[in-house]
Structure 1
Amino acid sequence: MSHYESSVPKAISANPKYLKYRRRLLHPRKNTVTPGVQLFMRGSYAVMAVLGVYSVLWMDWGDGDHCFRPIRRYFEQKKQEFFSLSPDDQEELRQQATALHSQGKA
């Protein structure tokens, strides 16, 4: 008695091609993800995230009002705050410049 007789129908167990296909189909490593596929999946997620950020912050949606205007205004405000100096920082830089300028003349 073969081990196929109990779990496989007679029509499949009689044909060796079907048995080979069944073994391949039920192989335990069939559903494992290879490193190449993992890299592709991670890359595709990264591309989707970049395209989402691009479409929200920089893509041209026309001159009219759209749902991304508040997010863009907030982003521009934070970018302006990051790349500009506060009045206290500007005064400190003026004092440092005058101190350096006075040292150079002396």
Structure 2
Amino acid sequence: MVKRLDQLPLVDHKVDPRLEDRYRRRLHSPQSLAPNMRSRRIQLGALGLSAVLTGYIVLFADFGPEDHCFSPVRRWFNIKRHSFWSLGDRERQDLKEQGRL
């Protein structure tokens, strides 16, 4: 059986006026709205950790041999990584001329 709101009994909460005044002062102070330093550090740490984990999952996590939604990004990343860590034709020729290769 569902009761309507006007049929429910009224509850009278007795609150100490001193506590109510203290609560209202804290609620309306500007410091109560600003995040403290600890919560800001936790927020930045969580943001950094989520960015690192997202990068790891997209670029390095093992999803098996079949293609998946991150395959194009991984192919692009592997091409860029290979071009960064390998020598180009010009660099290889310069090193041969210097006798270092």
Question: How high is the TM-score relative to the length of structure 2?
Answer: 0.76
Determine the C-alpha separation between the residues in 2 that align with 1:19 and 1:12. Answer: 14
For residue 30 of structure 1, what is the aligned residue in structure 2?
32
Larger Rg computed on CA atoms = 1
Q: Which of 75, 83, 89 is equivalent to 2:91?
A: 89
- Residue identity opposite 1:24 in structure 2: R
User: For the structure 1 residues 69 and 14, does the alpha-carbon distance in structure 2 shift closer, same or farther, using more than 3 Å as the test?
Assistant: closer
- Residue identity opposite 1:59 in structure 2: A
1:70-104 CA distance string (max 9 Å, x none): 10001001111011111121111111017xxxxxx
**Pairwise CA RMSD of aligned residues?**
2.2
Helix, strand or coil at the partner of 1:62: coil
Alignment of 1:40-79 (within 5 A): 40-79=42-81
Does the 8 Å CA contact 1:57/1:68 hold for their aligned counterparts? Answer: yes
Larger relative contact order (C-alpha < 8 A, sep ≥ 6)? 2
Q: Is residue 15 of structure 1 aligned with residue 20 of structure 2?
A: no
Which runs of no fewer than 5 residues in structure 1 stay unpaired?
1-10, 99-106
Which runs of no fewer than 5 residues in structure 2 stay unpaired?
1-12
Deviation at 1:28, TM superposition (A): 2.1
Deviation at 1:12, TM superposition (A): 8.5
| Count of residues paired in the alignment | 88
Determine the C-alpha separation between the residues in 1 that align with 2:21 and 2:97. Answer: 86
